[in-house]
Amino acid sequence: MRKLVYLAIAAMVFTACGSEKNSKEVQPGIKKALWGQKDNKQVDLYTLTNKNGIEVKISNYGGTVTAWIVPDKNGNKANILLGFDSLSGYMAPPPYFGALIGRYGNRIANGKFVLDKKQYQLATNNGKNHLHGGLKGFDKVVWDAVVVSDSVPSLILTYISKDGEEGYPGNLKVTVQYTLTENDELKIEYNAETDKATPVNLTQHNYYNLTGDPSNSILNHSLWIDADQYTPVDSGLIPTGEIKSVKSSPFDFTTATKIGARIDSVKGGYDHNWVLNRKDSSLQLVAAVTDSVSGRKLEVFTTEPGLQFYSGNFLDGSLKTSSGKPINQHTGLCLETQHFPNSPNQPNFPSTILLPGQKYHSVTKYKFSLNKN
């Protein structure tokens, strides 16, 4: 389940500015606005704009992408992400809208794993399981931010996760660079180093609705995933360890298919990991989602071996957009590039263990385009 209990929220102090009127250009194509304060640190909102007029808004609170503003086939611009205009909206807490996820994206069964013959107990925040880094994962911290605009606008975020944070071993230094390219791509480059062996699985949690209106369902979006296999899950959404063919099942998106076409055959909806078809770790196109009405299309490129497709099953209308619209079930979808869930407890899955002296490096690109037919 994604309805989480955040016991640590009450201890987190913030002040919301809720305004971008103080926005100033700090580099060509990059504006910065004071957005509030959290944990006695300044929270800013950065707006990256490319030559095509595409805008992406990112906060150093949680590395959160709050908006991606793009046109439809008629030239009408809208935000294709679920999110909020003010920092206070992200304190509710929302279900990871637009957030950077770590130290481990997705679930670890019972919050436990054994590494070098030692058992580690992580925070459990999803029933008995550990989800998306725990009670205070990377989505709930204020990152150090540096803007770069050599040829295209970039935001570089850095965070040091201390040894023992949420139960994880090792001091982990993480750097994430968001770049808005001239080809209308949001490129995300992850780097990390540790001083002790530790699991690392970083990802990004945008909720997309290509109609640009969160009142609309995403069930009419068409989805293609370059994956012949997926990892079945138990009732707690933990992979069973089996790697199963998608053929003749509702998990087969090897041909572009409407998300709503077979969702009723999947108990609870889609919230599964697809095993991507790949021979190496090079950057490759792995998925695409389209909305025929607006003409908007989003392609996903990654170096990762897996993709979590989540169909917004636990959105229930209790959260509202900044304009007051309820965020209902199936009004946003996530395409989270990743290693597989619960990999530290599944030796047949690709390893997520980072060792001292090694460098964690992962790249994902989300490319926007239009079909004007």
List active site positions. Answer: 205, 336
Rounded to an integer, what distance in angstroms lies between the CA atom of residue 328 and that of residue 215? 8
DSSP state of 166: G
Structure tokens at 178: 């968001």
Nearest of 366, 313, 303, 312 to residue 339 by alpha carbon = 303
Q: Under a CB-based contact definition with an 8 Å cutoff, are residues 24 and 38 in contact?
A: no
Q: How far is CA 361 from CA 113, 131, 200, in A?
A: 23, 22, 11
Q: For residues 158 and 17, give the distance between their C-alpha atoms in angstroms, rounded to a whole number.
A: 23
3-state SS class at 9: helix
Residue by residue, DSSP assigns 288-345 as EEE-TTT-EEEEEEESSSEEEEE--TT--SSSB-TTS-B--TTS-BEEEEESPTTGGG
CB atoms within 10 A of CB 326: 14
Least Cα distance to 19 among 44, 54, 41 occurs for 44
Q: Contact at 8 Å (CB) between 65 and 81? A: yes
Closest CA to 89 of 69, 123, 59: 59
Phi (first) and psi of residue 287, to 5 degrees? -160, 160
Task: Count Cβ atoms below 10 Å from residue 78 Cβ, excluding itself.
Answer: 19
Find the helix or strand (DSSP H, E) in which 271 lies. Answer: strand 271-275
